[in-house]
Amino acid sequence: MTQNIDPPFRWRTLPEFDLRVEHPLLRQPISLIVDDPTPGYNPAYFHSGFRNGPMHTSRELVDRFADLVETSGIRGKFSVIPYPFGLGRVDRAVRGVSDADRRYFLDVTRERIAPWLDITPEALTHWNALDLATGQLLPFWEHLWSRDQDRKTLFPYLSLGLEILDQVDLPCAGVTSPWDFGGQVEGDYAEAILAAQREVHGRSLTWYFLQADWLSTHVPPRMTIHRPDAGEAVVSIVACDQYDFGMGLWSGQAADPDMLIDTEGRAGRLAEVLRAGGPAVFHTHWQTMFAQGSLAGLPALAEVIRRIEDHFGDRVAWTSCDDLAHYAAAAASLAAETGPDDGGSITLRLASPFPCRRFTVSLGTHNPREVRLDGIPMARVQAADVLREGTYVYQGGRLFLCWSLAGDHRLSVSS
């Protein structure tokens, strides 16, 4: 199938230069979000009032999930609850889970899952809020607690989650909200995330997962904080699906892959969003993979992945949430200005304070004789589906080029 390199979604257009920010490598980013993983425990048991058992998960769950990640090449985000259900810090001890099982989960996560999926804390407990002064649980869940907080009180709470995971060599590029944690004070929440990431990891570009938009045709990341002059950005990663396709498994029913994409690749929320040409982020849960101990969520997820590859494989690229956030920030902050005319050449200065891999733009121009970036010739390829960093392709009256964006660049196009 010929790749469509002119989708109806643009990350950004600079009309004065006839310049468009395209999808990275001209492929639609797709990301999987996995919420609620934690060593040894089944979150569905706790979140359903101690009904949807069993209480504990097996080592086989994390092993088989890692197998699926490695064989499929999926990318996105994988949470680790830092202080699960108030039963202890995962970097020290969790009551009811053996140290051997706790370490096993963390080792597999670090060695086999983290190379593919970004790791995030999911607040602290995904349960009742933790009183940081006393170490005791408060009598209400932490997402309810968050509604009356501000950046000053959220900052130490989020910092502790990042610090705990950092202690087990799981540094986090972003943060995940348990339920709607931070949703009613989102501006303060984003500022607190930025402050916590700066404190713990020295990061000035970060992201979080809180929102879902199941109505819009295009669901790109959203800039919550965008201060390019200060080199600061916080990006909201937005899921396109309303419900977990395997939620029925929590209570002994069946998963519904058709909710995301049917066997023909024509119906379902993911199919709708991908056919519209934009990026797509969808989500599931650890308890979906566990499926009351049956692990039935794993083949159900594998079937969703197979359908995506069968029907959209030549159009999509699995993308981590951190790469997605960097792309959104770089596109939003891209500055362009014309440079001196080098005798028949188009010269542009392109700059962004946010580094970004596989940054891809297009220009309306004549078929070029040569393209140079920072004085170095770029390699020409003959088809869009083989575009890589440091290369360009000319097609349909537009020049498409891709490189690793880092600061200021000088682009020269010789006709």
Cβ–Cβ under 8 Å, residues 326 and 205:
yes
pLDDT tens for residues 374-399? 999 999 999 999 999 999 999 999 99
pLDDT tens for residues 206-254? 999 999 999 999 999 999 999 999 999 999 999 999 999 999 999 889 9
Do both 282 and 397 map to the same domain? no
Do both 108 and 240 map to the same domain? yes
The terminus-to-terminus CA distance of the chain in angstroms comes to 30
pLDDT tens for residues 394-412? 999 999 999 999 999 999 9
The domain of 130 spans: 28-314
Do both 280 and 358 map to the same domain? no
pLDDT (0 to 100) of residue 342: 59
Do both 309 and 340 map to the same domain? no
Task: Please say which residue of 279, 314, 349 terminates a domain.
Answer: 314
Do both 353 and 392 map to the same domain? yes
Tokens of 72: 């499929």
Query: Residue 3's pLDDT band (boundaries 50, 70, 90)?
Result: very low
pLDDT at 304 over 70: yes
Tallying the residues shown for the chain, one arrives at 415
Query: Residue 2's pLDDT band (boundaries 50, 70, 90)?
Result: very low
Number of domains composing the chain: 2
Residue appearing with tokens 């932490």? 142
Residue 271 maps to a domain: yes
Query: Residue 7's pLDDT band (boundaries 50, 70, 90)?
Result: low
Do both 241 and 363 map to the same domain? no
pLDDT tens for residues 339-373? 766 566 889 999 999 999 999 999 999 999 999 99
| pTM beyond 0.85, yes or no | yes
Of 28, 13, 27, 359, the closest CA to residue 217 belongs to: 28
pLDDT tens for residues 154-204? 999 999 999 999 999 999 999 999 999 999 999 999 999 999 999 999 999
Torsion angle of the four alpha carbons 57, 254, 242, 59, in this order, in degrees rounded to the nearest 10 = 20
pLDDT at 5 over 80: no
Do both 255 and 165 map to the same domain? yes
Burial annotation 144-156 (CB, 10 A radius, 16+ → b, else e): ebbeebebeebbe
pLDDT (0 to 100) of residue 1: 31
Query: Residue 309's pLDDT band (boundaries 50, 70, 90)?
Result: very high
